[in-house]
Amino acid sequence: TDTVLDVRDLRVAFGDVEPVRGISFRLRRGERLGLVGESGSGKSLTALAIMRLARRAQLSGEVLLEGEDLLTLKPRQMEKVRGGRVAMVYQDPMSALNPVYTVGKQLEEAIRLHRRLDRRAARERAIELLDDVGVPHPQRRVEQYPHEFSGGMRQRVMIAMAMCADPTVLICDEPTTALDVTTQARIMDLLDRLVEEHHTAVVLITHDLGVAAGFCDNVQVMYGGRIVERAEAEALYRASLHPYSEALLGAAVDLNLELGVPIPTIGGSPPLAGSLPSGCSFHPRCAWAQDRCRTEVPLLREVAGRLVECHRADERAAAVKEETHVGA
Ligand code: SF4
Ligand code: MG
């Protein structure tokens, strides 16, 4: 089949605390999947676990990359996969770039890890890559250090580095969060073009459901270490079935109104992995909560063509349908 990444019941634990609690999803070749939630929802940790970069964590489940379970690979085998078949772009490129080496040198190293090229050929490839990600004057820029680049240009360098081995799966963790609104849009356009050209599957991690809906084919909303809703991106953006997704959508709208100033509009804060509320972990913040929500844990199930983890998903699906009819 066309599945490139198959995550099965992935759990990430630190002793008794389990910030990622059994999540499963599949990614097809070239598919773009959004992983959306507030900070602390477990989305970044999911990415780090897939990359085997979650330090001191106990991982369980399976992470099948083209059928091969990454969780069983030896560290040296995993090093080949990382930056090769699976690459990652981080929120803060400064943390991923080495400040003491030139950008060209770092790109060359990344290229030579996965391709047999001599220094000269690797340098030429580095210049091509910088050009391809829209860094002006790449011949001159390869000689410069990361601090000589603006935030947006550094992120372009990171993207060039991540794409240099033509990965099967690209994981982007809040790739534009540290950037101004105009630069954000340009970086998303760049990603859009590159992954389209290379037919790269993407996991886009973001707190912004609007960004995910605009870029992705499918979106998964995470809360308290679980996937609470998974749907086709446009459908989710039009109407969410999980009350948490709905709250996130409200936050996205306010965010736009305030021109990028993040104003949290969901009452309360996300639960700490060590002290999850009983029943549905969203219940203390949920406008739809009923008695059983405090005691019964909802399970992810199919409702109206999506996956939703909420006791009241059917009622909400009926309500959404009604609204649609009234509107039509
Ligand atoms: Fe809200 Fe209950 Fe659904 Fe949880 S299960 S999201 S508390 S309605
Ligand atoms: Mg994060």
Q: Which domains are delineated in the chain? A: 3-85+165-327 (3.40.50.300), 94-164 (no CATH)
172-189 per-position pLDDT tens digit: 999 998 888 899 999 999
Residue 264 has pLDDT above 60, yes or no: no
State if residue 211 touches ligand 1 by the CB under 6 angstroms criterion.
no
User: Does the complex come out with an ipTM higher than 0.90?
Assistant: yes
CA 259 from centroid of its chain's CA atoms:
23
100 neighbors 108 (Cβ within 8 angstroms): no
Tell me what pLDDT residue 115 has: 86
Q: Whose CA is nearest to atom 6 of ligand 1?
A: 310
99-157 per-position pLDDT tens digit: 999 999 999 999 998 889 999 999 999 999 999 999 999 999 999 999 999 999 999 99
29-59 per-position pLDDT tens digit: 999 999 999 888 999 999 999 999 998 999 9
195 confidence band (pLDDT: 50, 70, 90): very high
Of the listed ligands, the closest to the CA of 296 is: 1
Residue 256 has pLDDT above 60, yes or no: no
Per-residue pLDDT, averaged over 6-22, amounts to 96
State if residue 289 touches ligand 1 by the CB under 6 angstroms criterion.
yes
DSSP letter at 278?
S
- Strands of the sheet containing 58-65, edge to edge, are 17-28, 3-14, 58-65, 68-69
Neighbour-count burial of 139, counting CB atoms closer than 10 A to its CB (0-12 exposed, 13-18 middle, 19+ buried): exposed
Residue 263 has pLDDT above 50, yes or no: no
142 neighbors 102 (Cβ within 8 angstroms): yes
CB-CB neighbours of 87 under 10 Å: 26
Percentage with pLDDT > 70 across the chain? 93
177 neighbors 165 (Cβ within 8 angstroms): no
Per-residue pLDDT, averaged over 298-304, amounts to 95
Show Cβ contacts of residue 93 under 8 Å, excluding neighbours closer than 6 positions: 146, 151, 154, 155, 157, 158
Average pLDDT score, the chain: 91
Q: Which helix (H) or strand (E) holds 318?
A: helix 313-327
Tell me what pLDDT residue 267 has: 72
Tell me what pLDDT residue 252 has: 60
Residue among 283, 300, 308 to mutate when testing ligand 1 (max atoms within 8 A of CB):
283
Residue among 221, 229, 278, 290 to mutate when testing ligand 1 (max atoms within 8 A of CB):
290
Residue 254 has pLDDT above 80, yes or no: no
Q: Which residues pair with 6 in a beta bridge?
A: 26, 64
Strand runs labelled E in 97-248: 169-173, 201-206, 218-223, 226-232
Of the listed ligands, the closest to the CA of 42 is: 2
Tell me what pLDDT residue 265 has: 54
Q: Among candidates 3, 62, 64, 55, which has minimal Cα distance to 28?
A: 3
Q: Which residue has the higher pLDDT, 268 or 160?
A: 160
State if residue 243 touches ligand 1 by the CB under 6 angstroms criterion.
yes
CB-CB neighbours of 328 under 10 Å: 5
Per-residue pLDDT, averaged over 313-320, amounts to 89
